[in-house]
A = this chain, B = another copy of it.
Amino acid sequence: MTTIRDVARVAGVSPATVSRVVNGLVGYSTETQQRVEAAIATLNYEPDTLARGLKTKQTAVIGVLAPVVSDALASEIMSGVEAAARLHGYSVMLGRTGPSSTYASSYLRTLRTYRAAGVILISAAVTPEMRRVLGSNVPLMSVAIRDGHRFPSLAIDDEAAAYDGTRHLIAQGHRRIGLLAGDPASVLVNTVRTRGYVRAMAEAKLTPLVESGNSLYDSAPPALGRLLARDAELTAVFALSDEMGAAVVNELQRMGRRVPDDISVLGFDNTRTSLHVYPALSTIAQPLERMGELAVERLLASESLSGGPVPRILPHRLIERGSTARFIE
Binding site for B on A (CB under 8 A): 1, 46-51, 53-54, 59, 61, 64, 68-72, 75-76, 78-79, 82-83, 86, 91-96, 103, 106-107, 109-110, 112-115, 135, 217, 243, 246, 249-251, 253-254, 272-273, 275-278, 289
Given contacts A250-B277, A273-B276, contact A86 B82 (CB under 8 A): no
CA distance A62 to B49 in the complex (A): 15
- 30 CB-based A-B contacts, threshold 8 Å: A48-B113, A49-B110, A49-B113, A49-B114, A50-B54, A54-B54, A64-B94, A68-B79, A69-B78, A69-B82, A70-B78, A70-B272, A70-B289, A72-B72, A79-B96, A82-B94, A82-B96, A86-B95, A86-B96, A91-B94, A91-B107, A91-B114, A92-B93, A93-B94, A94-B94, A217-B272, A250-B277, A273-B273, A273-B276, A277-B278
Given contacts A50-B59, A82-B94, A110-B49, contact A217 B276 (CB under 8 A): yes
CA distance A83 to B95 in the complex (A): 9
CB-defined contacts of A278 to chain B, threshold 8 Å: 249-251, 253-254, 277-278
CA distance A103 to B83 in the complex (A): 11
Task: Report the minimal beta-carbon distance from A86 to chain B, rounded to whole angstroms.
Answer: 7
Summarize A's interface: helix, strand, loop or mixed.
helix
Nearest B residue (CB) for A254: B278
Evaluate contact between B70 and A276: CB separation under 8 angstroms: no
Task: Report the minimal beta-carbon distance from A101 to chain B, rounded to whole angstroms.
Answer: 14
Task: Report the minimal beta-carbon distance from A6 to chain B, rounded to whole angstroms.
Answer: 15
Could you list 18 further interchain pairs (A-B, Cβ under 8 angstroms) beyond the known A217-B275, A254-B278, A272-B273?
A: A50-B59, A50-B114, A54-B54, A64-B94, A69-B79, A70-B72, A70-B76, A70-B289, A75-B75, A91-B93, A91-B114, A92-B95, A217-B272, A246-B276, A249-B278, A250-B277, A250-B278, A278-B278
CB-defined contacts of A83 to chain B, threshold 8 Å: 96
CA distance A49 to B92 in the complex (A): 16
CA distance A222 to B186 in the complex (A): 41
CB-defined contacts of A72 to chain B, threshold 8 Å: 70, 72, 75, 272
Task: Report the minimal beta-carbon distance from A255 to chain B, rounded to whole angstroms.
Answer: 11
CA distance A275 to B218 in the complex (A): 10
CB-defined contacts of A47 to chain B, threshold 8 Å: 113
CB-defined contacts of A82 to chain B, threshold 8 Å: 69, 94-96
Task: Report the minimal beta-carbon distance from A325 to chain B, rounded to whole angstroms.
Answer: 16
CA distance A289 to B69 in the complex (A): 11
